[in-house]
Amino acid sequence: MPTEFEFIKRIRDQVRRRMSTSPGLVLGIGDDAAILRQESGRETLITTDLLVENVDFRLDYARPDWLGHKTLAVSLSDIAAMGGVPAFSMLTLAIPILSPDRESFWEDFFEGYFSLCERYQVTLVGGDISGTPGPLSLDSMVVGNVQSGHAVRRSGAKPGDAIYLTGSIGASATGLKLLFDGALVDTTEESLVQRALRAHLRPEPRVGYGRRVGAGSLANSMIDISDGLAQDLAHMCEESLVAAIVDYDTVPVADEAALVHQDEWQAFLFAISGGEDFELLLTADPKQEPALRESADQEGLRLTRIGEIVDAATASPASPLILRREGSLEPLPVRGFNHFGSKK
Amino acid sequence: MPTEFEFIKRIRDQVRRRMSTSPGLVLGIGDDAAILRQESGRETLITTDLLVENVDFRLDYARPDWLGHKTLAVSLSDIAAMGGVPAFSMLTLAIPILSPDRESFWEDFFEGYFSLCERYQVTLVGGDISGTPGPLSLDSMVVGNVQSGHAVRRSGAKPGDAIYLTGSIGASATGLKLLFDGALVDTTEESLVQRALRAHLRPEPRVGYGRRVGAGSLANSMIDISDGLAQDLAHMCEESLVAAIVDYDTVPVADEAALVHQDEWQAFLFAISGGEDFELLLTADPKQEPALRESADQEGLRLTRIGEIVDAATASPASPLILRREGSLEPLPVRGFNHFGSKK
């Protein structure tokens, strides 16, 4: 069993082996602070996400490399949702003082973390490590860049905008349900169950698509699906002072959701309430649709038009969301909707 | 007892009440990421520090407002040690799910946090909150600015440089020892004991001085004292590939240290090994001394010349530090010295 000191040294050595550099980096890990170059006409995006063991993940079903991937992915998704390009990251770890087999865990964790860094040319520039008498906590920060004025906010949705969604929703929530029911990851198998588990444990942030939307000023508002389509669309409506009509027939519910609900309506409700899809939800002038679709094609992503933004007065006071189903409109209640907006 | 949801809402409300804005801020809390303006000729400094309950602090002796102050102070100190100007902060909280009397705790905590923000015009721009089955964890991030090329690194110390220290050392370690021995904070009392407790629980980062040193390019290297003078000077020597001679008679040991060690030599060893002084340690061409002293005067700070940087070959392989005492030179062992450099 290595001492705490030796253990932290090993983590640092692993980090140093994978350390990269990048054009905007002046000084990375090793001093009191990292130094990043600024450029006029550019804006910095900065976000942080905390993942706590037994709250946000469980070690009994987490694959360490996938956990490393997801730790970075959730913050990359935030930068994508702003239309920016991720560039730097920081990672702060509170590590349980007594945890077995730590060495191979962290090797695998950083394999997943740095593989995703390398895919998007993200450089780890700092962080902190402490022992803790409590659970493992992972605090992920990502710093990105965007051309001044091109960041896509939640608050820009306008009546008349169409609503678009990348990919599909509900696979991650399905995976979580299956994990709770005892399903195990088997990477040799390519089944619907395994795809659901992977969607939850190793989500793919839409970095390339977000960047294209920002660079081309293609959208009026954008958010990533972390709390579920219903909640995140409601957040967007609240921030934009608008309402949204969602066309029931168009919403791309993942095939995986059928593992939990065979009934189509139940599967729909499950999919729009489940979180952590990390798809991008955006609103745009319908004239931008060809450009939005071309960008999706270039990223190999499905893009679906799922509704439209309308005047706030169109909705009921209880929810800014309206469901259009079989030609009639009904309020769409947002389960657990947080009227105080997002955490950030 | 408020629910978790109500509780997090209250914290957000407190944050919103104290929210400020600043010239470089494009968008603060409330979206997927904060947006900060960049300027050519300027560099971004970014740092993060994790404080874990029962590892870095204890709630039985922490005053919540002082804990809020210290959470920010440790990261401000890192920006000061780079010669930069702090501008933005993020704060991520892992909050024990079952903790009594949380409301007043967080009101006081944020009073301390935001008071220090306001003193230095630092704007909170983001963060995250999660419940945890473990101890309270506070992850503090600060983003600062510095004119390009003006950041003061640890690695710039040169043979011939004089070594300078702001303030004095050992009061914080004394305070920690007294707390372990059962001392209690009493803000109505102005005693050496209370000053020691305050030095540990509510340290003052040298923001103004660090900024002047960076702006004027007055120093070749700088670090803040977080691991103790001996360790931090050794880090600086390692990074700069030099050695240091410390003049025993000149080192400003805080009066408070006498509460732990009456013997002068023992008090010295205690003071150079104790951490969290958050004073600035810098090396500079002695020609800069008048400017360094003038800046210290303007900040109302004591500045002491405590030694000189020499060629690495002057020191023994065991330690880059040499103590000059009563005319003779001896190796100064660095207790717990981490040969792998700093954590960041």
For position A342, what pLDDT does the model report?
39
Q: Are B45 and B95 found together in one domain?
A: yes
pLDDT tens digits in sequence order for chain A, 344 residues long: 455 556 667 777 777 777 777 889 999 888 999 999 999 999 999 999 999 999 999 988 889 999 999 999 999 999 999 999 999 999 999 998 866 566 688 889 999 999 999 999 999 999 999 989 999 999 999 999 999 999 999 999 999 999 999 999 999 999 999 999 999 999 999 999 999 999 999 999 999 999 999 999 999 999 999 999 999 999 999 999 999 999 999 999 999 999 999 999 999 999 999 999 999 999 999 999 999 999 999 999 999 999 999 999 999 888 999 999 998 999 998 875 443 333 43
B47 interaction partners in chain A (CB closer than 8 Å): 32-34, 126
Question: CA-to-CA distance for B93 and B7, rounded, in angstroms?
Answer: 13
Q: Are A33 and A142 found together in one domain?
A: yes
Q: Residues of B numbered 307-336 whose beta carbons fall under 8 angstroms of chain A's beta carbons: which are they? A: none
Is the Cα dihedral A334, A335, A340, A342 positive or negative? negative
Q: Name the domain boundary from B123, B147, B171.
A: B147
Would residue A327 count as lying in a domain?
A: yes
Q: Are A101 and A245 found together in one domain?
A: no
Phi, psi of A198, deg, nearest 5: -65, -40
Would residue B80 count as lying in a domain?
A: yes
* Residue in this structure with the two tokens 């997090």, named with its chain if needed: B8
**Where is B81: in which H helix or E strand?**
helix B64-81
Touching check for B148 and chain A: CB below 8 Å?
A: yes
B56 interaction partners in chain A (CB closer than 8 Å): 130
Q: Are A170 and A318 found together in one domain?
A: yes
CATH number at residue B43: 3.30.1330.10
For position B342, what pLDDT does the model report?
39
The answer to whether A43 touches A136, Cβ cutoff 8 Å, is no
Written as one letter, the residue type at A17 is R
**Where is B325: in which H helix or E strand?**
strand B321-325
For position B64, what pLDDT does the model report?
94
Q: Are A246 and A322 found together in one domain?
A: yes
Would residue B222 count as lying in a domain?
A: yes
- Whether A49 sits inside 8 A of B128 (CB atoms) is yes
Q: Are B168 and B292 found together in one domain?
A: yes
- Whether B32 sits inside 8 A of A155 (CB atoms) is no
Q: Are B212 and B282 found together in one domain?
A: yes
For position A330, what pLDDT does the model report?
95
Q: Are B102 and B19 found together in one domain?
A: yes
Q: From the CA of B344, how many Å to the nearest CA of chain A?
A: 5
Would residue B217 count as lying in a domain?
A: yes
For position A336, what pLDDT does the model report?
53
Q: From the CA of A127, how many Å to the nearest CA of chain B?
A: 6
Give SS3 for A167: coil
Q: pLDDT tens digit string along B81-95?
A: 999 999 999 999 999
Q: Residues of B numbered 217-236 whose beta carbons fall under 8 angstroms of chain A's beta carbons: which are they? A: 223-224
Closest chain B CA to residue A342: B30
- Whether B132 sits inside 8 A of A338 (CB atoms) is no
pLDDT band for position B17 (cuts 50, 70, 90)? confident
CATH number at residue A178: 3.90.650.10
- Whether A12 sits inside 8 A of B340 (CB atoms) is yes
Phi, psi of B307, deg, nearest 5: 165, -160
Mean pLDDT for chain B overall? 92
Q: Other C-beta atoms within 10 Å of A263: how many? A: 10
Total number of domains constituting chain B: 2
Phi, psi of A247, deg, nearest 5: -85, 110
Whole-model pTM: value is: 0.93
Touching check for A90 and chain B: CB below 8 Å?
A: yes
Q: How is residue B181 written in tokens? A: 């021995």
Touching check for A2 and chain B: CB below 8 Å?
A: no
Percent of chain B surpassing pLDDT 70: 93
Q: How is residue A307 written in tokens? A: 């509704």
Q: Are B86 and B173 found together in one domain?
A: no
The string of DSSP codes covering A35-101 is EEE--TTEEEEEEEEEEEBTTTB-TTT--HHHHHHHHHHHHHHHHHHTT-EEEEEEEEEEEESS-SS
pLDDT band for position B339 (cuts 50, 70, 90)? very low
* Residue in this structure with the two tokens 């520039």, named with its chain if needed: A125
Percent of chain B surpassing pLDDT 90: 81
For position A29, what pLDDT does the model report?
87
Q: Other C-beta atoms within 10 Å of A289: how many? A: 15
Q: pLDDT tens digit string along B286-314?
A: 999 999 999 999 999 999 999 999 999 99
For position B61, what pLDDT does the model report?
85
Question: CA-to-CA distance for A123 and A142, rounded, in angstroms?
Answer: 9
For position A314, what pLDDT does the model report?
93
Task: Report the range of poorest mean pLDDT among A84-98, B7-21, B123-137, B156-170.
Answer: B7-21
A92 interaction partners in chain B (CB closer than 8 Å): 48, 50, 139
**Interface predicted TM-score (ipTM) over 0.85:** yes
Q: Which of A295, A256, A32, A158 lies closest to B280, judged by CA? A: A32
Touching check for A286 and chain B: CB below 8 Å?
A: no
Query: Which residues make Cβ contacts (< 8 Å) with residue A227, sequence separation at least 6?
Result: A235, A275, A338, A342
For position B99, what pLDDT does the model report?
66
Q: Name the domain boundary from A147, A178, A195.
A: A147
Using the predicted structure, report yes or no on whether residue B104 has a pLDDT greater than 90. no
Would residue A343 count as lying in a domain?
A: no
Would residue B220 count as lying in a domain?
A: yes
For position B111, what pLDDT does the model report?
93
* Domain extent at residue B262: 154-331
Q: Name the domain boundary from B119, B147, B175.
A: B147
The answer to whether A309 touches A242, Cβ cutoff 8 Å, is yes
Q: Which of A45, A102, A67, A140 lies closest to B50, judged by CA? A: A140
Would residue A342 count as lying in a domain?
A: no
- Whether B82 sits inside 8 A of A35 (CB atoms) is yes
- Whether A32 sits inside 8 A of B135 (CB atoms) is no
- Whether A44 sits inside 8 A of B54 (CB atoms) is no
Would residue A110 count as lying in a domain?
A: yes
For position B324, what pLDDT does the model report?
97
Using the predicted structure, report yes or no on whether residue B18 has a pLDDT greater than 80. no
Q: Are B10 and B142 found together in one domain?
A: yes
The answer to whether A62 touches A202, Cβ cutoff 8 Å, is no
Q: Are A143 and A162 found together in one domain?
A: no
Q: Are A85 and A140 found together in one domain?
A: yes
Touching check for A192 and chain B: CB below 8 Å?
A: no
Phi, psi of B35, deg, nearest 5: -120, 125
Q: How is residue B20 written in tokens? A: 């400020």
Phi, psi of B46, deg, nearest 5: -140, 135
Structure-model confidence comparison of residues B40 and B61, the more confident one: B40
Beta strands in B19-108 (DSSP E): 25-27, 34-37, 42-52, 85-96
Nearest CB partner across the interface for B153, out of A31, A139, A146: A31
For position B336, what pLDDT does the model report?
53
